[in-house]
């Protein structure tokens, strides 16, 4: 019940942003809910990733990941696949990656199936964008 009201609100927010003619990328960011994204991050990513600068777990720290070149955080040993991914992480590249990481960059060592829900991806990306 509460959930469908919330997603209804989010849909109308998305429609309002679209009506203003904002580009697809900034719309994805605008539609994301960083607080919901933080909860999801703790649930789905936190076991392998810290949001604290310089703190490595199984995966690299995701502090400052938005705007960072993939596979380049000093002090973390990436797979060859990630080290050669040759992209900058932004709302668009993260959206594709988080849909299906292994499909996006075959051979990476991030053992995570992805977030099938666009809303979940928007929310997590909104949260990651706050980590600066």
User: Which residues form the interface with ligand HEC (CB under 6 A)?
Assistant: 44-45, 47-49, 58-60, 62, 65, 68, 70-71, 73, 78-79, 81-82, 89, 98, 108-112, 115, 124
> HSE on the CB side for 57, CA within 13 Å?
13
Cα distance between residue 28 and residue 59, in whole Å: 25
Least distance to ligand HEC, CB of residue 22, Å = 23
Cα distance between residue 13 and residue 46, in whole Å: 28
Least distance to ligand HEC, CB of residue 109, Å = 4
| C-beta separation of 100 from 130 below 8 A | no
Cα distance between residue 1 and residue 23, in whole Å: 31
Q: Which is nearer to ligand HEC, 22 or 56 (CB)?
A: 56
Q: Which is nearer to ligand HEC, 8 or 107 (CB)?
A: 107
Q: Which is nearer to ligand HEC, 4 or 87 (CB)?
A: 87
């Amino acid at each position: 019940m509460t959930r469908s009201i919330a997603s209804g609100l989010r849909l109308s927010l998305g429609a309002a942003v679209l009506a203003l003619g904002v580009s697809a990328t900034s719309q994805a960011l605008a539609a994301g809910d960083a607080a919901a994204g933080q909860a999801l991050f703790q649930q789905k990513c936190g076991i392998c990733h810290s949001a604290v600068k310089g703190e490595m777990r199984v995966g690299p720290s995701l502090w400052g990941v938005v705007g960072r070149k993939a596979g380049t955080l000093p002090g973390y040993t990436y797979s060859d696949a990630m080290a050669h991914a040759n992209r900058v992480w932004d709302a668009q590249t993260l959206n594709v990656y988080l849909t299906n990481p292994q499909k996006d960059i075959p051979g990476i060592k991030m053992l995570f199936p992805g977030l099938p829900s666009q809303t979940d991806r928007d929310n997590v990306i909104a949260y990651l964008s706050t980590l600066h």
